């Protein structure tokens, strides 16, 4: 069964705060394997996806449930904030 909760991670390789978030996102990916679907989008390579979701700054994390955005975290976030948003969606 495909998870109905998705985490969309919008970042850029040149972005300092995005690089800080990378290990946190990787930890979450491991901890929530099979529970959520994680999609990573480098905005330089995925401008269409970023504009589709109205991403104006990076890093931006969107939490979707049943393909509807239910939470948006903009800027570098502590892991606890992201985990809280995911748990609220599950």
Q: Which residues are catalytic?
A: 15, 18
Establish how many alpha carbons lie within 13 A of residue 39's alpha carbon, considering only the half-sphere containing its beta carbon. 15
Q: Coil, strand or helix: which one is 21? A: helix
Q: Angle formed by the axes of helices 16-31 and 79-89, to 10°?
A: 50
> Rounded CA gap, 6 and 85, in Å?
11
What is the token pair recorded at 62? 């969107």
């Amino acid at each position: 069964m495909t998870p109905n909760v998705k985490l969309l991670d919008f970042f850029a390789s040149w972005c300092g705060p995005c690089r800080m978030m990378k290990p946190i996102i990787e930890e979450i990916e491991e901890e929530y394997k099979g529970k959520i679907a994680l999609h990573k989008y480098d905005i330089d390579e995925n401008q269409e996806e970023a504009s589709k979701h109205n991403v104006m700054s990076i890093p931006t994390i969107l939490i979707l449930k049943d393909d509807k955005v239910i939470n948006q975290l903009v800027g570098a976030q502590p892991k606890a904030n992201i985990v809280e948003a995911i748990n609220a969606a599950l």
